[in-house]
Amino acid sequence: MPVLTSPFAELDLIRQPEQPNEPLQAFDAADEYLLNHVAEHGLTLQTRVLVLNDSFGALATSLAPHATVSSSTDSVLGAQALEINLLRNGLSADAVTLIPASAPLQGPFDWVLIHIPKTLALLEEQLIRLQGQLAPGARVVAAAMVKHLPRSAGELLEEYVGPVQASLAVKKARLLFVTPEDKEPQPSPYPTRYTLDEPALELVNHANVFCRDGLDIGTRAFLPWLPKNLGKARVADLGCGNGVLAIVSALSNPEAQYTLVDESYMAVQSAAENWQAACGDRPVTLRAADGLATQAHDSLDVVLCNPPFHQQQVVGDFLAWRMFLQARAALVPGGALYIVGNRHLGYHAKLARLFRDVEQVAATPKFVILKARK
């Protein structure tokens, strides 16, 4: 496995979730470029460093022995990777202060190191929250691989922080140096809201929620086919996003018990607010977690899922396969997993390897809704 070598450390790092013969490394050339730049300026143990969107902890783990480091991420898997990589490299799990993206920042910070996220709305919300959190003379530097660096990222940095100067590209990575200016605090455009007609719902969506501005077409295809007459069934919405699947299901199954889980802190924050608005004080379990990894075996009757087909910039069905495995373990014998998926992904064949019975509940030209019984 490649080792991340920087002026601060040589680190053995792994991605999360782990997979056999992992083809991808837990850092990129943008991380290396950023660390080399920071090293040119020097740190002390009193230097307060904020790292944003450190995918698997490469930046924070490198800097932890040399400064007071906080790391903010919207990914539970990213948070787990940071803790694992700290321990793998002889550091304590609390050597870095973790700040979920749904929580406020606690400045002032002397350095802010930003790995540009895929979702620019998340970057915008982070920059808005950074207002008033910079120490005098603070340095703000963003990094990305050139192919993942849209012009609008620099425009957001300039709008909310100050003038931006781009570096030369090194190993297909680029840095953006931002000079903080005194700016009038700006209100956040997040969360956004959209409405459903049937059932009549207004849904809140924090900045990093998938399909923040309207119901995604896969969920729209799924909603009419959610299971009914569930009685007191124990139901999980796996990868819940803003919670719409669970909420619509709950409204037609008043006695069922619901668990909503997502690996995005902002998704769970959105789901909690939406559940409260739609279902009031009806009991519910909400958690930011690695899917159903911590769910007790044989503890659910139904799992609802609109599985993702990418992790950050990487497209594939690895996460979906893990979710199917987790659902199978959590379901009681005879329990059912309901999913929606693009036709071309071939989920029917994959589910048939795990479940005793798989049936197509419905289909559109683009999507299939499948029921897999354990």
Preceding amide of 224 cis, omega within 30: no
Q: What is the pLDDT of residues 62-103, one digit of tens each?
A: 999 999 999 999 999 999 999 999 999 999 999 999 999 999
Which pLDDT score is estimated for 345?
A: 84
Q: What is the pLDDT of residues 346-357, one digit of tens each?
A: 889 889 999 999
Which pLDDT score is estimated for 312?
A: 46
Q: Which amino acid is at 152?
A: S
Three-state DSSP string of 158-200: HHHCCCEEECCCECCEEEEEECCCCCCCCCCCCCEEEEECCCC
Mean pLDDT of 6-22: 88
From CA 117, how far away is CA 175, in angstroms rounded? 14
Which pLDDT score is estimated for 23?
A: 75
Q: Read off the tokens for 248.
A: 């619509």
- Strands of the chain (E only): list them: 3-5, 10-12, 48-52, 68-73, 97-100, 109-115, 134-145, 164-166, 173-178, 192-196, 201-205, 234-238, 257-262, 285-288, 300-305, 310-311, 314-315, 331-342, 357-363, 367-373
From CA 228, how far away is CA 253, in angstroms rounded? 7
Report which of residues 318 and 313 the model is more confident about. Answer: 318
Domains of the chain by start residue, with CATH = 3-178 (3.40.50.150), 192-373 (3.40.50.150)
Percent of the chain past pLDDT 90, that is, above it, reads 86
Q: Read off the tokens for 65.
A: 């022995």
Mean pLDDT of 193-199: 92
**Does the pLDDT at position 314 exceed 50?**
no
Q: What is the pLDDT of residues 247-287, one digit of tens each?
A: 999 999 999 999 999 999 999 999 999 999 999 999 999 99
Q: What is the pLDDT of residues 281-291, one digit of tens each?
A: 999 999 999 99
Burial of 23 by CB count in 10 Å (0-12 exposed, 13-18 middle, 19+ buried)? exposed
Which pLDDT score is estimated for 98?
A: 97
pLDDT band at 18 (very low <50, low <70, confident <90, very high): confident
Mean pLDDT of 237-248: 97
Q: What is the pLDDT of residues 105-155, one digit of tens each?
A: 999 999 999 999 999 999 999 999 999 999 999 999 999 999 999 999 999
Length of the chain: 374
Which pLDDT score is estimated for 1?
A: 64
pLDDT band at 19 (very low <50, low <70, confident <90, very high): confident
Q: Read off the tokens for 372.
A: 């897999």
Which pLDDT score is estimated for 315?
A: 43
Q: Tell how strand 285-288 and strand 300-305 pair up.
A: unpaired
Residue 319 three-state SS: helix
Which pLDDT score is estimated for 346?
A: 84
Read off the DSSP letter of residue 105.
Answer: P
Which pLDDT score is estimated for 309?
A: 63
Backbone angles phi, psi at 183, to 5 degrees: -125, 150
Cβ(99)–Cβ(132) below 8 Å = no
Report which of residues 21 and 306 the model is more confident about. Answer: 306
